[in-house]
């Protein structure tokens, strides 16, 4: 994702730019034709497309059954790690991954230094520099793209520190400056495609979305790319799909400017039927803006990503948000630390798939009864078995 070089520099303390791009496209093959205007071949193509997305939605929503790794080195002794999330509650999905990673590292008996940079790139780089200064054995980066801290990470690697990352983008493809990255950016694209398929289905085969987009995060960009791919496929199959507007915002402005930015965008594009945000923490405030402006109207819905508690509560009570792609935070956090343990002992890191990581489409049909979504399985005991450790009093998976 080379375009991230120009995007990530804006994170801390910079005012959001209202860059609303009107992308209205009449669908039905770009002609605005209704289904009754289609030829027999076009109707067949649309039917095939709908069958495909029905399977996509089903596969994305099924219960997770994939196992955590069953083989690997025992836990390395006496190691230290610095864990760096992107921020606190404003990016809850990534923060929960970091908490799971902290739990995993403590189970191994490692010394853990947990540094919250509060969404500030300068503090992110300072955290990496601190890891170098204290001679940490490993660094775990969560939802911070390599380009934000590239120079500091290169110094860390030169000092022999292993760098593992999650839900992020690298400067050189899927690996590069990171020694491991889970899950892959492709998983984010798959999630974006599946969520678009769900939104299309929920709206009876009609999709006109407004996107509130934070381009600072490479994994969020991947989610948007997957959504765009769905729109392209839908239009090629003569379906009724379009993105009518995209407005950019910054994570630093989620609680302050995002509600009004959302309201401004929706006022200008009243023909929307789906409000999209690249992560649930942001979507909460986008929904707030839509409701305050009276624009969360009947016939429209909101969808997002991560599976955070407020968003799942809204889905549980049949509120405005109807779907999210849950981030398998427990498996991602433990998978990061398992890869760090492997790398520190000269073993290759595993891919996200081999770590048993799979995100999940959540709706009112399969949402958990309470709290956020950490994953369908508590994978920790399997990792502990592989590592040869027995934590004295492990916390419940949903209370990390």
Domain boundaries, the chain: 4-63+186-326, 80-183+328-399
Average pLDDT over residues 254-267: 96
Strand, coil or helix: what is 5? helix
CATH number of the domain at 80-183+328-399, please? 3.40.50.2300
Q: Residue 202 — pLDDT band, cuts 50, 70, 90?
A: very high
Q: Identify the architecture of domain 4-63+186-326 in CATH.
A: 3-Layer(aba) Sandwich (3.40)
Which value, to the nearest 10 degrees, does the dihedral of the CA atoms of residues 172, 173, 177, 181 take?
Answer: 170
User: Residue 192: which of 285, 314, 325 has the closest Cα?
Assistant: 325
Residue 22 reports pLDDT greater than 70: no
Give yes or no on whether 4-63+186-326 and 80-183+328-399 have one common fold: yes
Q: Residue 397 — pLDDT band, cuts 50, 70, 90?
A: confident
> Which region among 44-58, 79-93, 352-366 has the lowest average model confidence (pLDDT)?
79-93
Question: Bigger pLDDT: 241 or 38?
Answer: 241
Q: Residue 90 — pLDDT band, cuts 50, 70, 90?
A: low
CB 144 within 8 A of CB 120: no
Q: Are strands 274-277 and 301-306 parallel, antiparallel or unpaired?
A: parallel
Residue-wise DSSP of 14-30? -PPP---EE-----III
Q: Which of the listed ranges 13-17, 64-68, 99-103 does the model predict with the highest average pLDDT?
A: 99-103
pTM for this predicted structure: 0.89
CB 261 within 8 A of CB 288: no
């Amino acid at each position: 994702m080379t375009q991230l070089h120009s995007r990530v520099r804006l994170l801390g303390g910079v005012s959001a730019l209202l860059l609303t791009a009107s992308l209205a496209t009449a669908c039905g093959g770009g002609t605005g034709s209704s289904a009754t205007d289609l030829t027999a071949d076009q109707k067949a193509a649309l039917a095939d497309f709908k069958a495909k997305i029905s399977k996509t939605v089903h596969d994305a929503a099924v219960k997770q059954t994939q196992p955590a790794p069953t083989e690997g080195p025992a836990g390395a002794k006496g190691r230290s790690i610095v864990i760096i999330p992107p921020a606190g509650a404003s990016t809850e999905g990534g923060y929960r991954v970091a908490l799971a990673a902290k739990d995993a590292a403590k189970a191994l008996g490692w010394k853990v230094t947990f540094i919250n940079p509060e969404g500030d790139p300068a503090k992110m780089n300072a955290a990496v520099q601190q890891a170098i200064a204290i001679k940490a054995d490993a660094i775990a980066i969560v939802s911070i793209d390599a380009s934000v801290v590239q120079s500091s990470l290169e110094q860390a690697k030169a000092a022999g520190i292993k760098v593992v990352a999650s839900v992020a983008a690298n400067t050189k493809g899927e690996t590069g400056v990171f020694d491991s990255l889970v899950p892959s950016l492709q998983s984010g694209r798959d999630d974006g495609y599946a969520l678009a398929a769900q939104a299309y289905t929920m709206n009876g085969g009609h999709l006109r979305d407004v996107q509130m987009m934070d381009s600072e995060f490479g994994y969020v960009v991947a989610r948007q790319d997957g959504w765009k791919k769905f729109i392209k496929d839908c239009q090629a199959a003569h379906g009724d799909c379009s993105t009518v507007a995209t407005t950019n915002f910054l994570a630093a402005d989620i609680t302050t400017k995002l509600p009004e930015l959302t309201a401004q965008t929706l006022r200008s594009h009243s023909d929307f039927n789906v409000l999209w945000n690249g992560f649930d923490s942001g979507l909460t405030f986008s929904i707030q803006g839509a409701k305050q402006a009276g624009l969360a109207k009947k016939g429209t819905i909101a969808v997002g990503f991560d599976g955070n508690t407020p968003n799942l509560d809204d889905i549980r009570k049949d509120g405005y948000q109807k779907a999210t792609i849950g981030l398998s935070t427990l498996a991602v956090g433990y998978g990061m630390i398992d890869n760090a343990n492997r790398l520190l002992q000269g073993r290759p890191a595993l891919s996200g798939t081999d770590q048993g990581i799979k995100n999940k489409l959540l709706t009112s049909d399969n949402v958990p009864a309470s709290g956020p979504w950490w994953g369908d399985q508590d994978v920790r005991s399997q990792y502990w078995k592989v590592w040869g450790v027995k934590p004295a009093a492990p916390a419940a998976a949903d209370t990390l």
